[in-house]
Amino acid sequence: MSATRIIDKKKLADFLETLSSDCEVIIPTVEDGNLLFSELGSSKLEDSFKGRPIVSPKEYLFPQKEKILAFDTTDKVNVDIKAYTNDKKRVIWGIRPCDLHGIKTLDAIYLSDFVDTYYQARRKNTIMMGLNCNEPCETCFCNSCQTGPFASEAYDVVFTDLGDKYLVKVGSDAGQEAVDKIPNLFAEATNDDEKKAGELEEKSKQSFQRKVDVDVAKQNLPESWDDALWAEESEMCILCGGCNFTCPTCHCFNIEDVQCGEKASIRMRYWDSCQLGGFTQMAAENTRENQAARLRQRIFHKYIYTPDKYDGAIGCTGCGRCIEVCPVNIDITHILGRVASK
């Protein structure tokens, strides 16, 4: 890939606007104090911001609700079936390293042994532009998960906020092509720029409030299977599903045929939560009979099953969302800490 570059902060809008001529450009924006992903044009580009939107950008590849197909049974013999596809071209700018990593994990799940064509169609039309984290949030622990605060992979382009300009690194051909659309917006980065980015990364790494010994936790997890901690940690769970819905790597869904005409329906898929009692009911029952087993499943899935099944990398990005959205403060770092200290 080409050399590291810089772009003046004021020019970022020009860059993204140029890209938006033939695709949708998504950016993080602050509305009424809430950080949200939003479409460029309908919202303003923030000069700088802390943290990540409460719902991860996975929804641009795997939406909260999605139309799979439509069918009409008016003619009972020749049922009319239409599949939905979505090949909208999209650039998402400002994806934090945790979320870049989340998408990498989803790629492994959705594009390997079983290819999810809906995900695939969106994924190949999406360019991911990351933004490194100069300041971690209170609930973040990406440093412990080795997914952040600065991205080392899984991006097309990644930006580092140097104050009045961004350091820009290209990570793929698609990223190169995007940057090359208006090369004159970018200048070669100097050694000072690179040095400053390095300093920011170091500073960011030093400012985490949470730390998890992932290796020890992983090692101890199998032993913890029958531990009382699962019941203790899950006893106040109110079954909201928020931990799953905001997780950048949770990928379970359910299907519902939704009536839309006399004999016509649309098959929808929508996010599901392994914390709910009705999740994957086999014959009659959820195989995980209580909340302790369901919480254990959530943690084991991230820290044992995902690395076992895929390339060894854990399925938790350390983004801290499940901590932030939990109404009763179920805290994955606290749980892993307990496991690690056994």
Using CB under 8 A, list all residues that contact other proteins.
24, 31-36, 38-39, 42, 53-55, 59, 63-65, 235-236, 238-242, 245, 254, 256, 258-261, 268, 270, 272-273, 276-278, 324-329
Q: Could you identify the residue written with the tokens 């596809």?
A: 85
- Distance, in Å, from the CA atom of 315 to the CA atom of 104, rounded to the nearest integer, reads 10
Residue 72 CB, nearest distance to other proteins (Å)? Answer: 13
Residue 336 CB, nearest distance to other proteins (Å)? Answer: 18
Residue 320 CB, nearest distance to other proteins (Å)? Answer: 11
Residue 79 CB, nearest distance to other proteins (Å)? Answer: 18
Question: Residue 34 or 191: which CB sits closer to other proteins?
Answer: 34
Question: Residue 39 or 199: which CB sits closer to other proteins?
Answer: 39
State the pairing for strand pair 126-131/157-161.
parallel
Question: Residue 174 or 268: which CB sits closer to other proteins?
Answer: 268
E runs forming strands in 107-226:
126-131, 157-161, 165-170, 186-188
Residue 284 CB, nearest distance to other proteins (Å)? Answer: 9
Question: Residue 30 or 111: which CB sits closer to other proteins?
Answer: 30
Question: Residue 163 or 261: which CB sits closer to other proteins?
Answer: 261
Distances (CA, A) of 273 to 26, 58, 305: 26, 15, 17
Residue 145 CB, nearest distance to other proteins (Å)? Answer: 21
Q: Facing residues of 125 across strands? A: none
Question: Residue 222 or 277: which CB sits closer to other proteins?
Answer: 277
Question: Residue 51 or 97: which CB sits closer to other proteins?
Answer: 51
DSSP symbol at 283 = T
Instruction: Give the rounded distance of the alpha carbon of 135 from its chain centre.
Output: 18
C-alpha torsion sign, points 257, 259, 264, 266: negative
- Distance, in Å, from the CA atom of 226 to the CA atom of 295, rounded to the nearest integer, reads 13
Residue 276 CB, nearest distance to other proteins (Å)? Answer: 6
C-alpha torsion sign, points 31, 36, 41, 45: positive
Distances (CA, A) of 123 to 12, 57, 75, 111, 120: 24, 12, 36, 10, 5
